[in-house]
Amino acid sequence: MVFSSLTFLIYFLPIVLGIYYIVPKKAKNLVLFLSSMLFYFYGEPKYAILMLISIASTYIHGLLIEKSEKHKKKYLVSAIGISLAFLVFFKYTDFILQNINNLLHLNINLLNLALPIGISFYTFQMLSYIIDVYRGEVKAQKNFLKLATYVSLFPQLIAGPIVRYTNIQKELDERKCNFSNFSNGVRRFVIGLSKKVLIANVMADCINVFNLSNEKSIIFYWIYAISVTIQIYFDFSGYSDMAIGLGKMLGFNFPENFNYPYIAKSVTDFWRRWHMTLSNWFRDYVYIPLGGKRVGKLKWLRNILIVWLLTGLWHGAAWNFITWGLLYGVLLIIEKLGFLKVIEKIPSVLSRIYLLLVVMIGFVIFNGNSLSEIFDNITGLVGLNGAPLYSAESIYTLLNYAFIFIIAFIGSTPLIKIIVLKLKDRLPKLINILEPITLCILLVVCISYLVDGSFNPFLYFRF
């Protein structure tokens, strides 16, 4: 089940919210846990058991780490090993076997395992919890239901943001479920749903048109690259918005995950704004433990490359993800070694163009199915693959999707937010009337779009 589905919007969410607000406070965690398991079971029945086993392992190891000073490190290693073993087995086994076959010219049969949805997200949440318990930053949760609710919480289970136990530890015991939080949550959810359904899905349709076309041209390659860049941002940030909104409806405050990354002026700034919970996770649990910058220059550069190799692998078991991660690692190293000072001195227009070109090329790599396809799509941008400047289909596609391109360009900046905030200061009564009307219209349009059976891809099946 996904947020942008009629099953979720019309049946699951209203029923869960209705029960959640009716039951007493003591029963709310139970309602959340059971509804989260139902949410996961709907799409992955057999893997719901896997998640419960992972939660039980984390729960037991957390208690053992806290109680045993002498063997706490062994329990930490055991807990991390079990969580990573599940992740590696289901997500990376076939990738490893395929590369062994290619390298040694063998024919080992692949397992063809279905990837448990969201395993990368909930594994990282369990790892952060167990490491924080080991460090003494949090007490081990003695109530299994509360820990299970934290890990399985359906708003952020399959699409992030990566919520740490420390983020919601207090809210698992006591949280405010009031009209203000609920209305803010609905507003945030509808905005995220609109980003996903009305922009990301439309861009996915445009990408599909490109992939099926036999009339590739330079303009068409640029349409494709821009569409991928738009789709990935509005899909990822849209789901984060929906998760944060759902959290508010339920009384939780999840961390922000995106902060207008496409207005960044450097790769360094971009990664302070893009998927912030993932960047912070790798910083706190990989980069700093490796020594961060508090080591010699060569080890420091090694630490950066390790983090970005793992970042690429986290996104998927394929060489395009590894290439994408290492590309950013190299670019960040170049900026940290002095290029960032050059960027800061050039006009902001040029620095933003530099960043957007880097991001666009990066997402062409990210979205590729093979290295040969990626190479063709990148060289096609400048006609090095022999493509003509334009074709009739490319012009038609450009005109057909031009309006969405413009909306996406505006929506990727804080312009709308700035205008709304200024209007709230000057015309608060008008905005108080127009805002709910606008949100209702957007919700109706989104549901109509979904009822129509339009293209509704789900990027997080990769994770």
CA dist 289 and 170 (Å) reads: 27
Q: 294 in helix, strand or coil?
A: coil
Number of Cβ within a 10 Å radius of residue 110: 12
- For residue 225, give every residue at least 6 positions away whose Cβ sits within 8 Å of its Cβ, in sequence order, or none: 360, 361, 363, 364, 377, 381
What's the token pair of residue 98?
């395929």
CA dist 322 and 324 (Å) reads: 5
Number of Cβ within a 10 Å radius of residue 400: 13
DSSP 373-439: HHHHHHHGGGTTTS--S--HHHHHHHHHHHHHHHHHHHHTSSHHHHHHHHHHHH-HHHHHHHHHHHH
CA dist 44 and 461 (Å) reads: 11
What's the token pair of residue 148?
């299970």
Angle, in degrees to the nearest 10, between helices 319-334 and 371-379: 50
CA dist 304 and 42 (Å) reads: 39
Does the N-terminal peptide bond of residue 161 adopt cis geometry, omega within 30 degrees of 0? yes
- For residue 310, give every residue at least 6 positions away whose Cβ sits within 8 Å of its Cβ, in sequence order, or none: 282, 286, 325
DSSP 137-169: SSPPP--HHHHHHHHH-HHHHTT-----HHHHH
Residue with tokens 């109706």: 444
- Tell me the catalytic residues: 315
Q: How many CA atoms lie within 13 A of 312 on its CB side?
A: 23
Contacts by 65-69, CB closer than 8 A, 24 or more apart: 65/130, 65/133, 65/134, 65/140, 66/133, 66/139, 66/140
Residue with tokens 């965690």: 29
Among residues 445, 449, 442, the alpha carbon closest in space to that of 190 is found at 442
Residue with tokens 């060289």: 379
Is the C-alpha dihedral spanning 263, 269, 271, 275 positive or negative?
Answer: negative
